[in-house]
Amino acid sequence: MPFSDYRLEPGSGARLGATWDGAGTNFALFSAHAEKVELCLFNETGRREIARIPLPEYTHQVWHGYLPDVRPGAFYGYRVHGPYAPEAGHRFNPNKLLLDPYARAHAGELRWHDSLFGYKVGSRKADLSFDRRDSAFVMPKCVVTPDASSWGEDVRPRTHWSKTVIYEAHVAGMTLGADHIDEPRRGTFEGLAQPGTIEHLKRLGVTAIELLPIHAFPDDRHLLDRGLVNWWGYNTMGFFAPATRYLVSHAALDEFRVMVRRLHDAGIEVILDVVYNHTAEGNQMGPTLSFRGIDNASYYLLGDDKRYYYDTTGTGNTLDVDNRRVLQMVMDSLRYWVENCHVDGFRFDLASTLGRRRDTFDPHAPFFDAVLQDPVLSRVKMIAEPWDTGNDGYQMGNFPPGWAEWNDTYRDTVRAFWKGDEGMAPAVADRLMASASTFEHRGRRPWASINFITAHDGFTLADLVAYNDKHNEANGEDNNDGHDHNVSWNHGVEGPTDDPDILALRDRQRRNLMATLLLSQGTPMILMGDEHGRSQGGNNNTYCQPGEMNWLDWSRLDDPFVAFVADLIALRNSRPLLTSERFLHAEAHNPEGRFATWRRRDGSAMDAGNWEDPDRRLMALLLQGDADRALFLAFNAGEEEASYALPPGRWHRLVDTETADVTPNRPADVEGEITLRSRSLILLEADTPGPVRSEKSAGGDE
């Protein structure tokens, strides 16, 4: 119907977005510098604009209006009028249809066309020029969506941090190769919700699945030109809407909720990898899709020359979370996913940016203080990627209490130790004890260290032991993308080989790395597919690859390594000494009387001089507690087998990476000393509870 046929009332600016109240829809959009805002309504296909309605009221920098005739399912967007003055930070262009930052759903995909840009592409004046073409025909449309939904008796698992084991996965990569899923559901939330998918996660024993970004995002134009896609999704263009590519029925948010409900029924939490540090609009030469055209100067950090962006993300722009309305949007988005969609936590991409004051990081920045006092968000899991690309961006250990952090130094240190690098003993000892030197302050606990050997960014576990160098040629960037510091070792042959000795050593090294991860203090995170040896062919930057290298191979789930990983997780969860809620030291500092000591080959305690030996690749950790059976964890990263003196008593052999055994119920069969094969790990358990004491004290050289 034409604009004149729509009933229009002032409405309210109190709640941003499109809000259906059962009788009509209230529209509210923040813009501090706009001169006029037009609501654009589209027909049921989203292809034809059927009304353009100026929002009648402007209250506290919010434009708003209420339309009794607009119902859920309606397609809409905005056109925002104001100055086009890039030198002053303003880039308004009403010819460009804009996405509502608060839209709960999008319909359709972004189709690249020069009309998406606020300036004339190819003009000698670059972004100072002005493009008058309408972009609506290539833009997704926002969808009016009711908030109400029935959750029934959904019960959040609320797994304690000390018992959490995270599985990092990609929605499509997890399910596209699954024969147990109907074709239309593969690659979607519904596919992830299928019983066979969830059964695999339960078999492993993981307690949380961390999904790579599921917020709405486009495929970058330069990738599509090369026949590639934005596979990972770190390029958000809507913080409330799920990516339509993961839905069977576009705009059907219930599919996401069903997935969450079924994972919760299985005792598995859902953690979302979220990108609140930048958007898909890029730098001054990027498209005008939403925020830039709504209020560029408010949403983004601008440089001293306001034509350009202050970029700490490497993507061209940085969201200005210090702006109270931008902070409100981020907080509203997070609460929406927790309250409306029952998400259990978040992993924040480039989280240092969220605490920035330009060139400095502030753990008391408005965002962190807002989360701390929020009654909803303060109760869910918050995980920081503790770095960004800006000045002083590496901030591991400096995030506020209550936060956990990705520990990349754990990754590099454990890799280097098992690779056989010199001088790694002191560092690896610290990392195995939840990096106490980094995290033990302000009342933080061991779980604050998210330990990982591999993640989506980098080699898989199988490639880590099969390649010395990255092989990213398929990305079309002349192998210049991806990082070069892989701390990997091919064990004699680059890539695939038929040599049985090399294959056996690679398998043992995979067991060593996985066992180290799951037997360390802190919170372990496993990469999707590492449980069965998924390879990316040496590609350590598969962000743009839609093919099988990024898929879980469901035909390999009978691989013995799957059982090895599952048994390790079960063992970890059954031994309190492996999941201590407090940092363990040489003397007990906790009610359980738990402590940890490092041992030399002769059974005596390590002293300062022992740690200084650059050739030390043999070490053992003794974990003890008043009511616990002591655990003796021995590592041999050297090239020769070696014997190790045991504390007094009889011991059970729980884990042996030489034989791939994980046998928690085996009778006590070891005493006196034990022999470790080269490049292997052994975990023993005392026959009786209580502390064990060595009769030896540290002496001279071993």
Write out pLDDT tens, residues 183-198: 999 999 999 999 999 9
Long-range contacts made by residues 220-226, C-beta under 8 angstroms, separation at least 24?
A: 221/112, 223/544, 224/112, 226/476, 226/544
CA 96/CA 410 separation, integer angstroms: 47
For residues 630 and 691, is the Cβ–Cβ distance under 8 A? Answer: yes
Catalytic residue ranges: 349, 385
For 319, what's the count of Cα atoms within 13 Å in the CB-facing half-sphere? 30
pLDDT in tens, 354-398: 999 989 999 999 999 999 999 999 999 999 999 999 999 999 999
Q: What does residue 512 show for φ and ψ, rounded to 5 degrees?
A: -60, -45
Does the pLDDT value for residue 702 go beyond 90? no
Q: pLDDT at position 3, please?
A: 57
**Average pLDDT taken over every residue of the chain:** 95
Does the pLDDT value for residue 608 go beyond 80? yes
Q: pLDDT at position 339, please?
A: 95
Predicted TM-score (pTM) of this structure:
0.97
Name which of 458, 516, 450, 461 is nearest 210 in CA terms.
450
Does the pLDDT value for residue 699 go beyond 50? no
pLDDT in tens, 153-185: 899 999 999 999 999 999 999 999 999 999 999
For residues 388 and 397, is the Cβ–Cβ distance under 8 A? Answer: no
Q: pLDDT at position 700, please?
A: 43
CA 256/CA 254 separation, integer angstroms: 5
For residues 626 and 688, is the Cβ–Cβ distance under 8 A? Answer: no
Beta bridge partners of 491: none
Residue pointed to by tokens 């034509």: 307
Pairing of strands 381-384, 360-361: unpaired
Q: DSSP class of residue 617?
A: -
Cα end-to-end distance, the chain, whole Å: 88
b/e burial code for range 23-61 (CB count within 10 A of at least 16 → b)? ebbbbbbbbebbeebbbbbbeeebeebebebebeeeeeb
Percent pLDDT > 70 in the chain is 98
Q: What is the DSSP string of 184-240?
A: GGTTSHHHHTSHHHHHHHHHHT-SEEEES--EE-PPPHHHHTTT----S----SEEE
Give me 655's structure tokens. Answer: 């884990």
Q: With left for phi above 0 and alpha for psi between -120 and 50, is residue 304 left, alpha or beta?
A: alpha
Name which of 387, 380, 374 is nearest 403 in CA terms.
380
Binned at pLDDT 50, 70 and 90, residue 147 comes out as confident
Burial of 588 (0-12, 13-18, 19+ CB in 10 A): middle
CA 110/CA 288 separation, integer angstroms: 12
Give me 664's structure tokens. Answer: 């928690």
